[in-house]
Structure 1
């Protein structure tokens, strides 16, 4: 059937109902620099299939892959080794074509996997209950903020300066539509996490305090102290974990008093994948379970008394009345959740702890090597597998110079905070088990060369 677009009269009627003067007005929030008014530069208007394939391969060859160079990038997305068995398992027939499990009688494999996933996430994050996943860490962080608003009936959102700036932007964007008041300022390059100053800003109007753990500079905030202060004022502590492997070595946020714990699950089972799809983690205390977004899978028995799995709680608008819904999230990240669960199962508790220990050991070795380079200062007093160094010059250019030498040296803070001059010489370095001694030598030699 031929696709029939709307008529001019249809568009006019729709615009009149929503009160917009034109279709272009619907894109007012999109920056002008992001508008596309013609064909994409560099692509022919038409070409044969083989010509397009050759052209795309040439473009792809310009990328410097994480697997083809010493790789020290992190800042919320981490390169870990994913066992080949993970990919094999997620392609099994009982999982491969399964979507949202609306019909439990034909989705038992998916439902059981999600049930196991929830158990793993709850234990890892130190909470009573976890949902069946969300889109990614940043949107999970926003859902936690709006959940806190429902619970506390307050609108003040206090964000620690160490929260990833992309997460901050997501929260700020969504808060425009809810009236939540965001209190946030970018970090300063210092080893002190500033807990005292953060606690001093909590008051009777604070709905929640949002703290990343470890934070964007790799530091480890004192969650227990912040949790006690927040709860003393009737506010909730939301902990954000962007590197779940860290929880094999450090205390879980729930154990330290966090009321809601969210995070990005990409590190376990999910590759870097050019930035997505990723996996949002969400867990909380049992008493808040009915305010949690998304869905819960539960265990029960069928009519014959056999163990079976169902959707126990669904609080999104597709399942219940819109005014009663906690979220309009359309689906969980089922395939990524399956990959996460398979990887965690293969590791087990001992394996996860060993993996975390190896990450930390290698990061300490790299930090010591870099600290010995003239002009380089390690900012952190403590860290897991990611830390910040000051290099005395614009880190963006240093990163470009090292990339030209086939070394992916880290993430410049100037890229994350382009308006903050005081962060321009900061370089965020992440070290995982995939880093070899030769990679470390290449990073040290490259930094020594460009800083000489």
Structure 2
């Protein structure tokens, strides 16, 4: 078998690979994967095409792959489930593509005071939106941010249980569980009619609970309207209230911090970041100005600092000694790769929108969501999944039609009607980019399919 040596990657040369293995005392590359269970290994070579050495051939191959994609500008999309089609003002992209911001790694060189100021402004704008005092430089994504918020609660209380009161995206629940499973056990309390079941919650609440975890809006878009009651009960037994949220609605909704939340986490994808191929994602963690909570935050914080020159100020790390950069292996959590460039994008977005713009957007999202619910619920054979207040997303149930069949039929018409949750349930998402005419088109297409399906099955 001929060994392929990549023209731009010298480490693929056999002699280079052998030299590196000798330097670290390994017999083969396989030794580096000794900790990976056999069940997770592919056990075969990757199914890759023949290497394309010529750049023009590679470019043509990649263009062919990209040509199979369909964007939300080409198709009418009601897809959400964690990545949302919100409008991104052109100036956001213009700013983050500037050379002083755009870099190959993490969007963040380690000594760049202009970038530090831009991220300080982002933190300040997010703090105002969330009515919180301290917000971190963005983490990798919102899943990690929520996992870190729960881990913080575990360290602060010394307890080992988490009560999850809301519907959580399965992918998020999996990521959070994987992150905290060695120290915290998640106990799910099934929601009632979309939001937290307070009676079941109180039955399971005791002084062994480290954190009460609420997602609002939940995975199905339900807004938790009794957060203050939940927080009061949690605090009575010394538990910490951790809220996972999307900040898009807080121009009109009451922020969790004003309802008793101790740690607020989430993702900023909806604030000036595109969907792209699964989204540009970045996580935030927000806490009150309480030293106990601030010192448990593992991620970087940028603040305004005085210099040696009287009256002159700069921007830099705050309480750097908290982080694994300073603590190394003694750190409470590994800082990891930040998504700082997305923080700058969100900072530009929030500064453009301002309080009035965010309030208008929140009102529009609530109105569009309700309009879509009413249009679909008016169709015979379609009903809403619950009666809770919803922001942007909601579920509908079909009878006798199957949700997957609805998706297949409407996809043929250029409509992505939503995400299938089970045989009869579809998760539908609307944003400010979804017009009333778009919603009418969806409703008409669903109505036509359900009617034809009912006739076919003799209903």
1:123 matches 2:138: no
Asked if the contact 1:131/1:294 (under 8 Å) is kept, the reply is: yes
1:291 matches 2:299: no
Note the 1:3-18 alignment, pairs <5 A.
Answer: 3-4=16-17, 5-7=20-22, 10-11=25-26
Deviation for aligned residue 1:246: 1.3
Secondary structure of the 1:383 match is coil
> Separation in 2 of the partners of 1:218 and 1:201?
25
Note the 1:22-101 alignment, pairs <5 A.
Answer: 25-28=34-37, 31=40, 35=42, 37-40=44-47, 43-46=49-52, 48-97=54-103, 99-100=107-108
Secondary structure of the 1:68 match is coil
Unaligned runs of 5+ in 2: 1-9, 452-459
> Separation in 2 of the partners of 1:129 and 1:7?
48
Secondary structure of the 2:301 match is strand
Asked if the contact 1:71/1:439 (under 8 Å) is kept, the reply is: no
| TM-score of the superposed pair, with normalisation by structure 2 | 0.86
Secondary structure of the 2:146 match is helix
Deviation for aligned residue 1:226: 1.0
> Separation in 2 of the partners of 1:366 and 1:99?
38
> Separation in 2 of the partners of 1:179 and 1:40?
39
The two structures, once aligned, show a CA RMSD in angstroms of 2.5
The aligned residue for residue 413 of structure 1 is 421
Asked if the contact 2:249/2:358 (under 8 Å) is kept, the reply is: no
Give the counterpart of 2:337 among 331, 336, 339. Answer: 331
| TM-score of the superposed pair, with normalisation by structure 1 | 0.88
The aligned residue for residue 271 of structure 1 is 274
**Which whole-Å deviations, capped at 9, do the CAs of 1:149-188 have from their partners, x for residues lacking one?**
1100111111124122222111211233x23222126667
Secondary structure of the 2:325 match is coil
**Which whole-Å deviations, capped at 9, do the CAs of 1:351-403 have from their partners, x for residues lacking one?**
11111111222222111111111111112321122111112343234223322
> Separation in 1 of the partners of 2:96 and 2:396?
39
Q: Kindly tell me: are residues 99 and 444 of structure 1, through their superposed partners in 2, closer, same or farther at Cα, counting changes over 3 Å?
A: closer
Deviation for aligned residue 1:295: 1.2
Q: Kindly tell me: are residues 121 and 9 of structure 1, through their superposed partners in 2, closer, same or farther at Cα, counting changes over 3 Å?
A: closer
Deviation for aligned residue 1:413: 1.3
> Separation in 1 of the partners of 2:108 and 2:69?
35
Secondary structure of the 1:330 match is coil
Deviation for aligned residue 1:57: 2.6
1:395 matches 2:403: yes
Give the counterpart of 1:373 among 360, 375, 379. Answer: 379
**Which whole-Å deviations, capped at 9, do the CAs of 1:233-279 have from their partners, x for residues lacking one?**
100010001x3211122110101100100001000111012124411
**Residue correspondences, number:** 427
Which protein is bigger by CA-based radius of gyration?
2
Deviation for aligned residue 1:63: 2.2
The aligned residue for residue 418 of structure 1 is none
Q: Kindly tell me: are residues 40 and 150 of structure 1, through their superposed partners in 2, closer, same or farther at Cα, counting changes over 3 Å?
A: same
Deviation for aligned residue 1:99: 4.9
> Separation in 1 of the partners of 2:439 and 2:256?
31
Secondary structure of the 1:38 match is coil
The aligned residue for residue 204 of structure 1 is 207
Secondary structure of the 1:234 match is coil
Unaligned runs of 5+ in 1: 16-21, 415-423
> Separation in 1 of the partners of 2:392 and 2:29?
52
Q: Kindly tell me: are residues 12 and 92 of structure 1, through their superposed partners in 2, closer, same or farther at Cα, counting changes over 3 Å?
A: closer
**Which whole-Å deviations, capped at 9, do the CAs of 1:108-164 have from their partners, x for residues lacking one?**
211111111111222222222111121111011111111111100111111124122
The aligned residue for residue 312 of structure 2 is 306
Asked if the contact 1:213/1:239 (under 8 Å) is kept, the reply is: yes
1:169 matches 2:178: no
The aligned residue for residue 198 of structure 2 is 195
Secondary structure of the 2:250 match is helix
Secondary structure of the 1:26 match is coil
> Separation in 2 of the partners of 1:115 and 1:100?
13
1:451 matches 2:458: no
Secondary structure of the 1:275 match is coil
Asked if the contact 1:362/1:431 (under 8 Å) is kept, the reply is: yes
> Separation in 1 of the partners of 2:180 and 2:305?
38
Asked if the contact 2:373/2:384 (under 8 Å) is kept, the reply is: yes
> Separation in 1 of the partners of 2:410 and 2:314?
54
Deviates more, 1:83-92 or 1:432-441: 432-441
1:428 matches 2:431: no
Deviation for aligned residue 1:291: 0.8
**Which whole-Å deviations, capped at 9, do the CAs of 1:40-90 have from their partners, x for residues lacking one?**
36x344464333333333332322211111111111211111110111112
> Separation in 1 of the partners of 2:419 and 2:217?
16
Secondary structure of the 1:96 match is coil
> Separation in 1 of the partners of 2:367 and 2:68?
33
Asked if the contact 2:195/2:223 (under 8 Å) is kept, the reply is: no
1:356 matches 2:368: no
Q: Kindly tell me: are residues 294 and 30 of structure 1, through their superposed partners in 2, closer, same or farther at Cα, counting changes over 3 Å?
A: farther
Deviation for aligned residue 1:321: 4.1
The aligned residue for residue 421 of structure 1 is none
